[in-house]
Homo-oligomer: A and B are copies of this chain.
């Protein structure tokens, strides 16, 4: 918890710095997750796939190359100099550069005259820390090129890379717009995994919540609620973003790609449905926990109270014959003592019977 807090405080001071600058001034907001920014280039033309690793920013290819599709993947966005250099090279609006380095930017899609700009959140489930990991992903889709910015060096897009290598996309007329689609789709596919992981935890908890509630469960429910909140915040605006792409970004997409975009939209809705279902379940869980705890508590209290209640009248009888009155005929009786036992056992027994019949025990 304390690291989360520290992280947030850092962000606050970064934000404070940001408040005092002009809009469009990029300031890196977030945690620095890696050391050096690393740029990889993959480009596929008529018959060939070309891969360049760790390209210096000065040697970036010109976006104007015709025919081929160039994919520039930038890992790490904390070095403003490099991001700004890329921005200048590809003629990006200052506000776009600002959004690329601001890792707290919410998902969105924006249409500029020369490019389409998409902000996404890559979600993965960190099994060790038992929490959701969010990574800021930005995509620039221009004519003939796609630039992707990742917060961290990762294997998010490895599948896409592999598929490019194998399937020679240019042959089947898949242009840069399909590449952008494929990248977004691979991000959305990861949402399913994260949602199902969280769903697993929720179901596990649901199983033992009714039978054996633990004090720690409340905290666990709390944690799951935050996870679901993060998921919601990542997916809901994305849906809107894809809608904007479909409506305003028509000039960037070929007709063939549009049916894929519609499919993507569909998947986003499906994730949203799943997230909302989880949210509903979690909402009910707090109540279930409380009912379950109070049920157990009631059971305990009831048994204990009954024990006490049975003995109180008996103790009273014992007290009566402990009195020191001079004239107490019962005390003199030969069978007084056994008789009092009989009476006490009788009273106690009939009380227990009564409780049993009332189903209180």
Which of A's residues lie within 8 Å of B, judged by CB? Answer: 1, 5, 8-9, 11-12, 15-16, 18-24, 93, 95, 105-106, 108, 110, 112, 159, 163, 167, 181-182, 185-186, 189-190, 192-193, 196-197, 199-200, 203, 206-207, 210, 215, 218-219, 222, 225, 229, 233, 237, 259-260, 262-264, 266, 269-270, 273, 277, 280, 284, 286-295, 297-298, 300-302, 304-309, 311-316, 318-337, 340, 358, 360
Contact = CB atoms under 8 A, between A and B. Distances in A.
B200 A8 contact: yes
* Residue with the highest number of chain B CB atoms closer than 10 Å, among A93, A200, A305: A305
A199 B20 CA distance: 21
Contacts of A200: 8-9, 12
Copies in the assembly, this chain: 5
Contacts of A329: 337
Contact of A159 (B9, B19, B284): B19
A259 B96 CA distance: 10
B306 A302 contact: no
Contacts of A273: 106, 233, 237
A186 to B, nearest CB: 7
A8 B199 contact: yes
A97 to B, nearest CB: 12
Contact of A12 (B193, B260, B304, B322): B193
13 contacts: A5-B203, A8-B196, A11-B196, A19-B192, A22-B163, A23-B181, A23-B182, A106-B273, A300-B302, A304-B305, A308-B308, A308-B309, A311-B312
A186 B19 contact: yes
Contacts of A319: 315, 318-319, 322
B207 A222 contact: no
A21 B314 CA distance: 73
Contact of A266 (B108, B186, B306, B313): B108
Given A8-B199, A95-B263, A322-B322, 17 more contacts: A11-B196, A19-B190, A23-B182, A23-B185, A23-B264, A95-B259, A106-B270, A108-B266, A222-B288, A289-B291, A294-B294, A294-B298, A307-B313, A311-B316, A316-B318, A323-B337, A325-B336
Contacts of A337: 323, 325, 327-329
A61 B95 CA distance: 34
A313 B312 CA distance: 9
A291 B313 CA distance: 31
